[in-house]
Amino acid sequence: MTRSQLLDRDRAEIQRSASEASKVVLKPLKRAQIDRYLNPSADTPYGLEYAFYLLGDVKGKTVLDLGCGKGQNIVPLVERGAHVIGIDISPDLIAIAQKRLRDCNLEAQVTVGSAYETGLPDDSIDVVFCMALIHHLDISVVRDEMWRVLRKGGVVILKEPIRFSEGYAWARSLLPAQEDVSEFEHPLTRKELAIMTQPFKVQGTRYFRLPFVPLVSCLLPSKSDAAWRASNWILQRWTATERYATGITTKLEKAS
């Protein structure tokens, strides 16, 4: 992909993020919203909690929250003892992240920047924490940048939307598009996920959220947690259902 095309993608994401940021009403994070990510269990039904589980001990390590957005994940990362660098292409979202950190009396290096060219030194990062970012981007370019900045033995903790079933992808295309979605983003296919993981040692992969979960959560909000747990139970017992999962969380190691 040419530099001009990459810039087009960045501009589209800045525009999308501005719309997202304009709707944010920043409220103090409740203690429970932070604590759930400090020591989550390995069998959690939630993909983000599992991402924090895969982190392991990050005390004293340098963690890059790539595509940090509004900064919600930076708070538990800092509380777990990491030295956190947050980068996002959106000035509007970075402003929210900076205010969130001030409100929490926490410190992290949070700046506007591109996932394609972070400006960080080679081999300077222990962990790239990357939540729902690469499906917005040119995968091979951002993958190579992650590889460049990671130290040997460093890891990427990756959480992404996926759509492996062509039948489900077709059915979902008939529904109205979600708000604040750019023309470039879409859930990852198997081929796109393989492009991202190709140079890494893949560990701890789990699949999350069967299609009935958002439906139940929308129609019966009080049953949302039960739906997530039912989805997790099914996915852990019948691997054939993984092709219908809508999310994946995994750890990618830059082998030494």
Alpha carbons within 13 angstroms on the beta-carbon side of residue 87 total 20
pLDDT per position as a tens digit, 148-188: 999 999 999 999 999 987 665 545 554 455 555 556 668 99
Alpha carbons within 13 angstroms on the beta-carbon side of residue 217 total 13
Q: Report the distance separating Cα 80 and Cα 75, nearest Å.
A: 9
Residue 110 pairs in a beta bridge with 86
92 is a domain residue: yes
Q: Report the distance separating Cα 63 and Cα 40, nearest Å.
A: 18
Return the structure tokens found at 239: 């691997």
104 is a domain residue: yes
Q: Report the distance separating Cα 107 and Cα 37, nearest Å.
A: 18
Identity of the amino acid at 27: K
Q: What DSSP assignment string belongs to 137-198?
A: S-HHHHHHHHHHHEEEEEEEEEEEEB---HHHHHHHHTSPPPSS--TT--PBPHHHHHHHHT
CA distances from 163 to 36, 66, 133, 202 (A): 27, 22, 15, 19
- DSSP label of 235: H
102 is a domain residue: yes
40 is a domain residue: yes
237 is a domain residue: no
187 is a domain residue: yes
Nearest residue to 213 (alpha-carbon basis) of 245, 169, 168, 165: 245
Please report the pLDDT score of residue 213 as a whole number. Answer: 95
- The ranges of the chain with pLDDT < 70 are 1-6, 166-185, 256
Please report the pLDDT score of residue 1 as a whole number. Answer: 61
Cβ contacts of residue 135 below 8 Å, gap of 6+?
Answer: 160, 161, 185, 186, 187, 188, 192
Q: What DSSP assignment string belongs to 54-104?
A: HH---TT-EEEEET-TTSTTHHHHHHTT-EEEEEES-HHHHHHHHHHHHHT
99 is a domain residue: yes
From the number of C-beta atoms within 10 Å of its C-beta (0-12, 13-18, 19+), residue 67 rates as: buried
What's 36's domain CATH number? 3.40.50.150
Structural domain containing residue 114: 3-208+249-253
238 is a domain residue: no
Please report the pLDDT score of residue 11 as a whole number. Answer: 76
Return the structure tokens found at 201: 């040692």
Please report the pLDDT score of residue 174 as a whole number. Answer: 45
Return the structure tokens found at 207: 């699949």
The number of domains in the chain is: 1
